[in-house]
Amino acid sequence: MTDGMDQPARPSAAPGSSPVPEPSGVDLARVALRAAKEQARARGAAAQQKKQARRGGLRSGARADGRDPLPLGAAINRLITERGWETPAAVGGVMGRWPQMVGPEVAQHCEPLRYDEDARVLTVRCDSTAWATQLRLLAPQLVARLNADLGQGTVKLIKVLGPGGPSRRYGPLRSPGSTGPGDTYG
């Protein structure tokens, strides 16, 4: 006679429900096989990492991943997005399309020089004071057109520069910091 201590405890079934079957030999074998496969997979991954470390790092395989080469356009777009250069790149595109934006006649006499992203100011140089005056009068319409193309608030102001004077570098010898003969005449 047994005292009931040697028998494993069986869960009691609730009234009206079927009893929970104990795992049989086939089920136990499946669980053991699944555990062995997971352990083997983990050991294989660890061995693969060691092998890659010996070879000098990760290498691209047959499937696509983040290390694969990209087409040039996609790589440049990704770089622009990662660095936050969308606005300067867009303004640079406008500088390339300047003749289409302002018209061929204005573009012949006025050229964009630079864009200050912090102040949102586009600096334009004109080849004569008459064209500088004309562009200053057209600046509000041009700002509106640029903002419609680039996004509202991208350009707040167009700074128009007239023609620069001739350089005052006469002769081969100059003193350091001198602006030429003009620095002695007030």
Domain boundary assignment for the chain: 110-165
Rg (CA), the chain: 38
The answer to whether the CB of 173 falls within 8 A of the CB of 109 is: no
Higher pLDDT, 24 or 8: 24
- The whole-angstrom separation of Cα 99 and Cα 97 is 6
Residue 48 has pLDDT above 80, yes or no: no
The answer to whether the CB of 145 falls within 8 A of the CB of 101 is: yes
**What number of other Cβ atoms are within 10 A of residue 158's Cβ?**
19
Please tell me what DSSP assigns to residue 17.
S
Q: What is the pLDDT of residue 137?
A: 93
pLDDT in tens, 126-159: 998 999 999 999 999 988 988 888 778 888 899 9
Q: Which two tokens stand for residue 53?
A: 């470390």
Concatenating the DSSP letter of every residue in 132-157 gives HHHHHHHHHHHHHHHHHHH-TTS--E
Residue 4 has pLDDT above 70, yes or no: no
Q: What pTM does this model have? A: 0.49
> In the block, which residue shows the tokens 């201590």?
5
Helix (H, G, I), strand (E, B) or coil at 67: coil
pLDDT in tens, 54-111: 766 666 667 777 777 888 888 888 888 888 877 777 777 777 888 888 888 988 999 8
- Averaged pLDDT score across all residues of the chain: 77
- The whole-angstrom separation of Cα 35 and Cα 55 is 30
Amino acid of residue 125: R
Alpha helices (H) in the chain, listed in sequence order: 25-55, 72-83, 86-96, 98-102, 104-109, 129-150
